[in-house]
Each structure stands twice: as C-alpha cells, then as structure tokens.
Amino acid sequence: MGYTILIADDEPEIRNLLRLYLENENYQIIEAKDGREALSLLREKKSDLCLLDIMMPEMDGYHVLQELRKESNIPVIILSAKDADSEKILGLNLGADDYLAKPFNPLEAVARVNSNIRRFYALGTREKDQMSAEIKVKDLTLDPDACALYKNGELIELSSVEYRIMELFMRHPGKVFTKQQIYEQGWGEAYIVADNNIMVCISKLRAKLDDDPAAYIRTIRGLGYRLER
C-alpha cells in the first residue's frame, strides 16, 4: 500500500502484535515507546496514520494529540484501556478520528487502519484534476491537495473528520445536509444514532471559523446544516 503507520505504545507486546498484522498488509511501521518520542517521530518522519496509546510515560497520548493537531491532520486512532464514553468523547474532541479500546482484536485494528487510510487519502484517487482544484467560499479557501482550510490566508487547524465535513460543505455551499449525510462523509460509517458526535464537531468547526456561531454554518431546524454562501 505504501503507507507508513506510527505505533505509539509503551507496551512492546502491543507494538509487536500490531507490527506483525500491519506489515502483513504491506504497511511500513515506525514505533515509539513514549509520548515524547512519538511526537518527535511524527515531526521528523512522514507518517500517514498514528495508532496512539493514551497512558504513556514522558507525555500522555492526549498531549501528543493536542500538539500534533497544531501541525498535522493525519488520521489518529486512539488505543486505550479506558473505554468510558467520557474518555472516548475527550479523545474525539481533541482531534482523534477513531477510538479502539484495549484489549482489542488485532484484525479489528487492521480494519480500522484500512478504513481511516481509505477515507482520508481517497482524494488522491478520485477525478484528480477536478477534486484537487482550490475551492473558495466567502473568505474561506479549501486546498484539497494539502487537505487544508484557510481563512483570509491563515491556516485553520482541523482534524481529518472536520476537514472532510468542511469539504462536503464547501463543494456545495447553500445546500442543506442531513445529519446522516454529514456523519457518513465525516466518519465514513453508516449512520445509526450519532447526534452528539455531529453536534460536538459542528460546534468546534463554528468556533474555529468565527466568533459568531452562525456566521458560516447555519442550523436548519428539523433538517440539518448548511454552509452560508
């Protein structure tokens, strides 16, 4: 596949297990045994996805994620023995794309890696010329090649889920999207009931775009959301 995965976990057994299964899928693997090493490797070497443990020495996974999101929006899958909903929501709010509770089935871990890689990097395989052209709406500019969003030339830091939702909005300004459409675009999964995830994500996007919550993304009661032209 040609993609490089960083496995950040202080347990060598978990790193070895994940390496075995992911290398079998032809991924290149980089390993980090603590948070500080993970952040250093993410900055120094090209990684396409990070499997990030929360409870690590030197720097925990939440702090690594916070620092990473200042510089990159690569997919991040959290690995954690803490499976409470509050922990999952915290990780997602900090910019994680997925959450895998320990102990986990390594085949599920591989499936989640494949899914996130496929969703995030699909832009490179779809009608390249059309899909890579910059999109401008008001004072926002979306650069599909860099998977980046700018406001008046200033980079807005987004998670990969937030980026995919903004891409959906900006390709169709003024169009109302249902929660199901937004969820399936952002998370790449079938929508069942995920209102809280969508509300949190929209709220974070609004805060990043403007002090006025309705300046860009407007709620259409009973229908969904739209990006103002």
Give CA–CA dist 139/156, Å, rounded. Answer: 12
As averages over each run of 10 residues, the pLDDT of the chain (229 residues) reads 88 95 92 94 90 92 91 90 76 87 91 88 52 82 87 90 91 89 82 77 92 89 89
Enumerate the H helices of 69-194 as residue ranges.
85-93, 106-121, 128-132, 160-171, 179-187
Q: CB count, 10 Å around CB of 21?
A: 16
pLDDT at position 125: 45
Give CA–CA dist 113/151, Å, rounded. Answer: 31
pLDDT at position 13: 95
Q: CB count, 10 Å around CB of 161?
A: 27
CA-based nearest residue to 95, from 153, 139, 33, 161: 161
Give CA–CA dist 109/125, Å, rounded. Answer: 24
pTM (two decimals): 0.56
